[in-house]
Structure 1
Amino acid sequence: MRASRLVRLLLLLQTRGHTTAARLAAELEVSVRTVYRDIEALSEAGVPIYCEQGRAGGVRLVDGYRTRLTGLTSEEADAVLLAGLPGAAADLGLGTVLATAQLKVLAALPPELRGRATRIADRVHIDAPGWFHRAEETPALAAVADALWADRRLRIRYGRKDKEAARTVDPLGLVLKAGTWYLVAAHGDEIRSYRVGRIAEVEPIEETFDRPPDFDLTAHWDTAAAEFARTMLRVRARLRVSAAHLFLLRSGNDPAAVTAALESAGQPDADGWVELTLPAESYEVLAHGILPLGEYAEVLEPPQLRARMATIADRMRARYVD
């Protein structure tokens, strides 16, 4: 168990070059104290590993050191062809690089693993964006990515045409969410997300910045996305819904809203109906999200939403009754 962890720690450092003991502890699912013990064990074994103190400190290997522990298990070989999203790589100008890297990895595999990995690639295709998703134009993406790789500051003009703002940011990461690119960047002491398609102009600055050593892009995005979903769902409706038709909630509502509604659902009554609370951005959004349930849902409150549903129902009836 410990030998496997030491190998993983070594490969993490070789891949990143520099990180913190706290981040290593989180990825290895051990305590920081255990990480320091492992670092000491590797050092005693002759691995040129050392720790630096201070704000920009952390754990690193001596520059140029490479381990030969690069063997892949069959599961890891399977993942090689699944890990990359070709569309995303192409957006970043790395399509050819990704294809070349995959070929190099395949060429380095033993014959039995090479055949297995190739079969996986031939049988699995990842299409990340949702249905009917129109690709957003992102002319600024390449310049943003170049600055991101080099830790260079960016001056951007951002927003819609009628309301744009200029600011200087430190690019910390790029996130591809449901086919849409977002730049995660620091502006002063605040870390914000910017939709790349809304960056009207980008100007790389030769000035570099020190990337926060403890910044974890995945953790930051997960937290920010959850908060965004929570703040967007500002209004709520109390519904009575046929338990057998709860699946219809997914037809016209935000996934986060559906999850919250199902978690709030009580036990079915004698008629097989449940009461639940459905959140949304506005009452109009709620009305159209409830429509797919048809006769299998009733709005209990608020009164203004009941009135809106009645108006919609009257107009629909007028179109069908002579």
Structure 2
Amino acid sequence: MRSDRLVATLLLLQRRELVTAAEVSRELDVSERTARRDLDALAMAGVPVYSVRGRGGGWRLVGGARTDLSGLTAGEARALFLAVGPASDATPAMRAALRKLVHALPEPFRVQAEAAASSLVVDPQRWGASRKEHRPPRFVDELQDAAIRGVQVSLGYVDGTGVETRRTVHPLGIVVKGPVWYLVSDTETGRRVFRIDRVSAADPTGDPAHRPEDFDLAESWDEIAEEIDRKRTPLEVHAVCTPEGTGILRMALGDRLDVGGSTADGRVEVVIRGPDEYILAGELSGLVEWVEVTGPEGVREHLASIGDALVERYGRPGTSGDLHPS
């Protein structure tokens, strides 16, 4: 994973006065081309890395190797942690390396470095079926900077009905869920989530933001997303599925599927969430080869009705059907 490699590459630069792309390649078991791209990425992220050309050249930190990272400015340290900290797929090894880097930073830089590393969460699971990719919306940088610096923001916001309001918020972090960017913040009325593409203004007030000492953006987002999922898909359908069908259900239903234990006949208990009985019946009607719905009864009735309509429209197997007279 690239975020792991960026941290490992920086630690390698800290230990040695000068490294070559070939040495990074051998140490991290990647190609030299990948090693050079990672070294370039560190430089672009604001880390004071530069290349030495010619024979005996390589890459080094400005001022030579420093195990205490004293060569980093506050802005450069924050840029590094923004580059490698937000990854949702961060491994325990990478997180351990980040903790070591934080402890190695000069004291004045640590707070913002830690805030930068935890200011963004990436949740790849989309809400809805859209596959469209979106670039970061306007005001993302301003809101993330406010979350990192810990300052309140006067936020202009347009709700789903088109009504614009203004309020003061305490930014806690940014979440990217599929193609949509969200701001998680505290307000006078409690914790709120705002779609950043609906933000019309973001003006830092300069006043310090309140941030709970034990706040963890990833944990908070898990709770928020679970609550939103419950509101979006309030209905639960109980069913049993053949073992070979569980993979197909996962592809079709994503995180709306919960898989339980095995039944006496070898099938698997599943719970499927959705917005209402008819929509769920429509989705499950194409999966009857693997799934038997056990409840609620309304979904079973809709499935039977859909089945009757399909037979009426297309005919039974071996017959011509009403739309294809002989």
Q: TM-score range by the shorter chain?
A: 0.5 to 0.7
1:294 aligns with one of 288, 292, 304: 288
Indicate conservation of the 8 Å contact 1:158/1:166, yes or no: no
1:70 positional shift: 4.2
1:259-278 aligned within 5 A: 260=258, 262-263=259-260, 265-269=261-265, 272-278=266-272
Unmatched runs of 5 consecutive residues or more in structure 1: 1-68, 80-94, 111-125
Please report how far the alpha carbon of residue 239 of structure 1 lies from its aligned counterpart in structure 2 after TM superposition.
1.5
Q: CA RMSD in A?
A: 3.9
CA distance in 2, matches of 1:198, 1:128: 19
Counterpart-to-counterpart distance in 1, 2:169 and 2:179? 23
Q: Which amino acid letter does the alignment assign opposite residue 153 of structure 1?
A: Q
Q: Paired residue for 2:33?
A: none
Distance 1:245 1:100, change over 3 A: closer
Runs (4+) of structure 1 exceeding 4 A deviation are 95-98, 126-131
**Structure 2 counterpart of 1:245:** 245
Q: Is the 8 A contact 2:42 2:49 kept in 1?
A: no
Paired residue for 1:196? 196
Using the alignment, how far apart are the partners of 1:229 and 1:105 within structure 2?
47
Q: Which amino acid aligns with 1:108?
A: R
Amino acid at match of 2:140: L
Q: Tell me, in whole angstroms, the C-alpha distance in 2 between the residues paired with 1:98 and 1:185.
A: 32
Q: Which residue of 2 aligns with 1:13?
A: none
Pair 1:137–1:314, CA change in 2 (3 A): farther
TM-score, normalisation: structure 2 = 0.54
CA distance in 2 between partners of 1:304 and 1:105 (Å): 67
2:172 matched to 1:175? Answer: no
Within 2, Cα distance between the matches of 1:236 and 1:223?
Answer: 19
Instruction: Give the aligned residue type for 1:172.
Output: L
- SS of the aligned residue for 2:285 comes to helix
Q: Is the 8 A contact 2:234 2:275 kept in 1?
A: yes
Letter in 1 for 2:182: Y
> Which deviations, in whole Å up to 9, do the C-alpha atoms of 1:118-177 show, x marking residues without a partner?
xxxxxxxx9986783331672232332343344332222232244544322111211222
Structure 1 residues 166 and 108: alpha-carbon distance in aligned structure 2, compared to 1, 3 A threshold: same
1:134 aligned residue? 133
Q: Give yes or no for contact 1:136–1:197 (8 Å, CA) kept in 2.
A: no
5+ long unaligned stretches in structure 2 = 1-12, 17-23, 30-39, 52-58, 65-88, 90-121, 315-320
Distance in 2 of aligned mates of 1:105 and 1:310:
69
Mapped contact 2:137–2:196 kept (Cα < 8 A): yes
User: CA offset at residue 185 of structure 1?
Assistant: 0.9
1:100 shift after superposition = 4.5
Cα distance, 1:136–1:254 mapped onto 2, change above 3 Å: farther
2-structure distance, mates of 1:247, 1:316 = 26
Paired with 2:123 and 2:48, the residues of 1 have a C-alpha distance of 23
TM-score with structure 1 setting the length: 0.54
| Whole-angstrom distance in 2 between the partners of 1:309 and 1:219 | 38
1:223 to partner: Cα distance = 3.0
Q: 1:315 to 1:97 in 2, by over 3 A?
A: farther
CA distance in 1, matches of 2:206, 2:134: 32
Cα 1:250–1:103 shift into 2, 3 Å: farther
Summarize the Cα distance change of 1:138–1:148 in structure 2 as closer, same or farther, 3 Å threshold: same
Q: How does 1:95-244 map to 2 (within 5 A)?
A: 99-101=44-46, 104=49, 107-108=59-60, 132-135=131-134, 138-154=137-153, 155-188=155-188, 190-199=190-199, 201-212=200-211, 213-244=213-244
Tell me, yes or no, if structure 1 residue 303 matches structure 2 residue 297. Answer: yes
Q: Is the 8 A contact 2:152 2:170 kept in 1?
A: yes
Give distance in 2, aligned partners of 1:108 and 1:218.
34
CA distance in 1, matches of 2:203, 2:286: 48
Query: Which residue identity does 2:301 align to in structure 1?
Result: A
- Give aligned-pair identity as a percent: 23
Partner letter of residue 44 of structure 2?
A: A
AA partner of residue 60 (structure 2): A
Aligned residues: 216
Higher helix share: 1
| 2:54 aligned residue | none
User: C-alpha distance in 1, partners of 2:133/2:215?
Assistant: 32
CA contact (8 A) 2:139 2:202 kept: no
